[in-house]
Amino acid sequence: MPFQAQRPYNGLPLLPPQKDVETKVVLKACIEARAALAELRVSGQLIPNQAVLINSIPLLEAQASSEIENIVTTTDRLFRFVNEPGNHADAATKEALRYRTALHQGFLMLEQRPVSTSVAIEVCRTIKGIDLDVRATPGTALMNDATGAVIYTPPEGKALLLEKLTNWERYIHEAEEIDPLIRLAVMHYQFEAIHPFTDGNGRTGRVLNLLYLVDKGLLEIPILYLSRYIIRNKSAYYQRLLSVTTDGEWEEWILFMLEAVRDTAHWSTEKIRSIRNLLDETALRIRNELPKIYSRELAEIIFINPYCRIGDLVGAGIAKRQAAATYLKMISEIGVLEEIKSGRENLYINPKLLGLLSERNELKIAAK
C-alpha cells in the first residue's frame, strides 16, 4: 500500500533501496567524509589517555542529541553531575546522562556482538531508564511540532517490525559492496522509519550511528560529535528523512548525512587538538609552579573530570584523601582550577576546558 501519513506504513520497502545510492555526487561526498573521519581517527590517538576524550565529546553528543528531542540541559550541568554520587541532577540532565551511558555501554557491547536489534533494544532501555522491547501496541504517530498534523505513522505489529529489523541488520552487515558511510545513511533512515520503540527512537538511532562507525573500523572510540550538525540543521534533517518516505529522495538524504559526518569530523579533530594543547599547557604549568606534586596523571585527571572531586584522585590512585585535597587546593591557588562548595564537598572546576567544550563559547567567538 502506498504511503499515507495517517495510516501505518506497513508497506515500508525492505532494504536495499530500489534507487541507486552510489551516484557520482554521493561517491565524491563519501570520499571527502572518509578522509575527514580518517583524520579524526588519527587525532584521537594524539592523546594517550583516551579517557580524556571518552569523558568529554560523548557528553557533548549526549547534550545535542537530547536537545533534538527538546530535552534541554547545559554542558556545565552534564559535567557537574556525570559522576555525582547523590544523583541530584534535574530530570533533563539525568536523561541526557543516560544517553551518554547508553553510548558507553553500547561501545562495550561491540566487543561481543555487532550493531543489531538486540543492541538497539539495550541502548533504548538505557536511554529511557525502563525495561522496554520492540513495540507491540498500535497508535504511534509522528506529528509536526508547529501544526500538530500527523506527518508519519510507522509500521505496526511486532512480528512485522521484527521482520523489518532483521532485514535492516542483514543489509548493514552484508551489503559489503556499498561503502559503510552510505550504508550508515541508509541504516539511519530505515531505523527511524521502522520506529521500533514507543519512545527514544531518534536518540537510539543516533547512538547506533556512532557504534556502527566503530563496528566498521572507521573510528576506534565513539568521539564523532554527529548530533552537533543535526541540531544546527534540525528542520533539514527531518525534511530529508520524510522526503525519502514520500518521494524516494535517497540522494539528498545520503548527501546530508555524509556532510554531517564530514563537518563534525573536522570539528571533532580541531576540538581534540585544542584539548591536547590545553592539557599540555596545563601539565607544564603545574610542573613548573608545583613541581613537588606534579605528575602527568594529576594533570590528566582534571581533564577526565572537569568537575573534579577529591575522590577522583583517590580512585585513580594518584593520592590518598588528605593529600588529594591538598593537591587540588594548591592547583586552584595557582589559578588552574576554581574551587566551589557543593553540599558537603568541594568541587574543583577546570574552567578553561569547560570553556573550550562549550558551544556558547564558540558562538561568542563566531559573533566577534
Report the alpha-carbon distance of residue 164 to residue 187 in Å, rounded: 12
Site of grid cell 555524509 = 258
Report the alpha-carbon distance of residue 90 to residue 62 in Å, rounded: 15
The answer as to whether 224 is a domain residue is: yes
Residues 309 and 254 in one domain: no
The answer as to whether 14 is a domain residue is: no
What are 321's three cell numbers? 584523601
What are 304's three cell numbers? 577526565
Tens of pLDDT along 19-70? Answer: 999 999 999 999 999 999 999 999 888 777 787 787 788 888 988 999 989 8
The answer as to whether 327 is a domain residue is: yes
- Three-state DSSP state, 2: coil
The answer as to whether 228 is a domain residue is: yes
Residues 149 and 208 in one domain: yes
Residues 229 and 329 in one domain: no
Residues 251 and 363 in one domain: no
Q: Which domain holds residue 179?
A: 24-264
**200 backbone φψ class: left, alpha, beta (φ>0; ψ -120 to 50):** left
The answer as to whether 282 is a domain residue is: no
pTM of the predicted model over 0.85: yes
Residues 100 and 241 in one domain: yes
| 208 residue type, one letter | L
Here the CATH number for the domain that contains residue 329 is 1.10.10.10
Tens of pLDDT along 292-330? Answer: 999 999 999 999 999 999 999 999 999 999 999 999 999
Sequence-separated (6 or more) residues with CB below 8 Å from residue 45: 220
Residues 207 and 331 in one domain: no
Residues 170 and 74 in one domain: yes
What are 225's three cell numbers? 560529535
Residues 219 and 305 in one domain: no
Tens of pLDDT along 325-334? Answer: 999 999 999 9
Residues 241 and 135 in one domain: yes
Q: Which is it for strands 345-349 and 150-152: parallel, antiparallel or unpaired?
A: unpaired
The answer as to whether 105 is a domain residue is: yes
Q: Which residues pair with 347 in a beta bridge?
A: 340
Q: Which residues pair with 345 in a beta bridge?
A: 342
Q: Say how many domains are in the chain.
A: 2
The answer as to whether 5 is a domain residue is: no
Tens of pLDDT along 159-200? Answer: 999 999 999 999 999 999 999 999 999 999 999 999 999 999
Residues 225 and 342 in one domain: no
Say what the alpha-carbon torsion angle 121, 118, 252, 243 is, to the nearest 10 degrees: -50
Residue whose C-alpha is closest to residue 20's, from 192, 251, 187, 174 = 251
